[in-house]
A and B are shown apart, each in its own frame.
Chain A
Amino acid sequence: MRAEDPGADAPFVFRDGCIGVTVDVRAYRLSAVQKTAYRLAAKCTAIIGEVREHSLVVTLTFSPTTGEREALETARLFFQELLDQELREKVGEQTASLRALILAHAFSRTSLPPRG
């Protein structure tokens, strides 16, 4: 499940206030893409397209005041965040049931906290 940096060999192009990026859906799940888009909402609006083959096209749309350098930086950030977000989803999968278990234990009667 080791994730390589996907932005490395895909140079971004900033045109008409937009950058189109392609996400491989075999490496990243949709929820990770959505959460990443949400996180970056202050920098750009991400329009999530449809899946073709294994690719998902996401269009990052910038406000007119955003310059090219800043936009490219955001696109780079998008993939950095996406990597983290994908990892988060995996961690969540592995630990969600444990968390429920610990909570159940925490609020069961046997786990009354010790008193000083």
Chain B
Amino acid sequence: MARAVFHPRSAYAPSAGYRLLPLRFGRLDEHAYIVTNDVGEYVRLARDELVAFLERRLDSDTSVYKALKSRHFLYENDSSVAFDLLALKYRSRAERVAAFTGLHIFVVTLRCDHSCQYCQVSRQSEDSTAFDMTVEHADKALDLVFRSPNEHIKIELQGGEPLLNFPLVCHIVERARKLNEDHRRDLQFVITSNLSRLSDDVLSFCKEHGVYLSTSLDGPADLHDGQRPTRGGGSHRKTVEGIHRVREVLGLDRISALMTTTPRSLSRVDEIIDEYVRLGFHGIFLRSLSPYGFAARSLVKRYGVEDWLDFYKRGLSHILRINAGGYFLREEFTTILLQKMFSPLGSGYVDLQSPAGVGIGALVYNYDGAVYASDEGRMLAEMGDQTFRLGHLDEHSYEELLTSEALLAPLGETILEGMPMCADCPFLPYCGADPVFHRATQGDAVGHKAFSAFCTKQMGVLRHVIGLLETDAEARDILLRWV
């Protein structure tokens, strides 16, 4: 072989100078700043590095320079493929937003046998059928479900307590499956239930049709029962029994649980998490109270977003310890944000989308035939604010519902890129608009973010999570496993 001549690295070095690509930046914590771009890339850096970078005098030999270049925050004259890749990422993101609603919520009844303090919809006595959805409305809603072009369709049956109207639940599931013989979508069912009415019939029905269950579990017995009173008591015991029975009959992964943070939960986050572990769950959603329904009237003012953030941070570190100990447990809110950061497809979580996920992420069919753009929109309506009501099953067609003002106005208003403060917030690509929240708290769908608890929460969580990702290798390893 003839002696080959190789050129040194320097022969391929880019010519001096670079230019900036579109970006946003802001303070991450006392020590660092963060830059992000529209497609969700980020780099953490010191303020003087940031200023040098923005003033186009950052040394190309530094690792921060290389990170900024690799993640498309700058480009050099020698290479322009960054534009092709950026364009592609913009497009993929946009296509995800455009993928129409996949989540359909059926409120089959408003009746409930619990009277939870924070319940987000008016509870009704157990035997008043006036608050049940009719078969006609269910059928009309199902026709709409299959009008949406989504490949994956999830039908969530909720209430009230949906099992109080079990015949309609059966009807919806069976009819949806029948219709799907022609439509051939990937169809999934979830019943959101407190499990107090879990009978053998219900279980065998769920088994036959592959239905999942989701329940409420607020923590240890005293905490749970304290905020979820039932006639005769013992909600926690019944829920735990229910969980075990579902697992026995349907399988381990068939049931998930949701918790709600009340003022009484705040000091007990470790116990709440341990309760989930004790019951064998591998996911927990540290949810803050929403400002709708009963919650807004009674309890919501009793803790501030800062209290919740503190609760969340303590909880997250407990969860990380549990993972480090070898038990897989993920926190779902964090996971949604991580997906937005690291999953190429982002997350489809309705509350965190820009433009707002209303009507795009979910459609809610209320017991009375009204259609809402999101579950929170329905709750707001229960409080008398009809802003997010799209129309009614008896009166409007699919096209009318999806082009209604109630849907389009917040859509247009809530493109984050156009909102004050959000427009140059580095957390924008991982954030969302939540118009219902801002309507409920500030009276308009956009809201002033300096006063917004939603914004404070988002920034607080994102700062914390990104801080962990960037400074704690062990935590990073665990967090990335959740995506």
Contacts and interface: CB of A to CB of B under 8 A. Distances in A.
B450 A40 contact: yes
B54 A91 contact: yes
Contact of B22 (A38, A40, A99): A99
Contacts of A92: 424
Given A1-B55, A105-B87, A111-B91, A88 B20 contact: no
Given A1-B55, A94-B20, A41 B91 contact: no
A111 B451 CA distance: 40
A61 B67 CA distance: 42
Interface residues of B, number: 29
Interface in B5-27: 19-27
B92 A113 contact: yes
A41 to B, nearest CB: 4
Contacts of B420: 35, 38
B95 interface: yes
Contacts of B83: 101-102, 105
A42 B451 contact: yes
Contacts of A114: 88
Given A38-B421, A41-B450, A105-B83, A88 B25 contact: yes
A111 B86 CA distance: 11
B21 A95 contact: yes
Interface of A is mostly: helix
Contacts of A94: 19-20
Contact of A41 (B87, B92, B95, B448): B448
A84 B25 contact: yes
B443 to A, nearest CB: 16
A88 B424 contact: yes
Interface string B381-418: 00000000000000000000000000000000000000
B451 A113 contact: no
Contacts of B84: 105, 111
B450 A111 contact: no
Given A39-B450, A42-B450, A102-B22, A87 B51 contact: yes
Interface in B25-58: 25-27, 38, 51, 54-55
B87 A91 contact: no
Interface in B58-94: 83-84, 86-88, 90-92, 94
A21 to B, nearest CB: 18
Contacts of A35: 420-421, 424
Nearest to A94: B20
A96 B24 CA distance: 12
Interface in B98-129: none
B87 A111 contact: yes
B431 to A, nearest CB: 16
Contacts of B55: 1-2
A55 B136 CA distance: 69
Nearest to B420: A38
A76 B84 CA distance: 42
A106 B20 contact: no
A98 interface: yes
Interface of A: 1-3, 35, 38-42, 84-85, 87-88, 90-92, 94-96, 98-99, 101-103, 105-107, 111-114
Interface of B: 19-27, 38, 51, 54-55, 83-84, 86-88, 90-92, 94-95, 420-421, 424, 448, 450-451
10 contacts: A35-B420, A42-B450, A88-B24, A91-B20, A91-B54, A98-B21, A105-B84, A106-B87, A106-B90, A107-B90
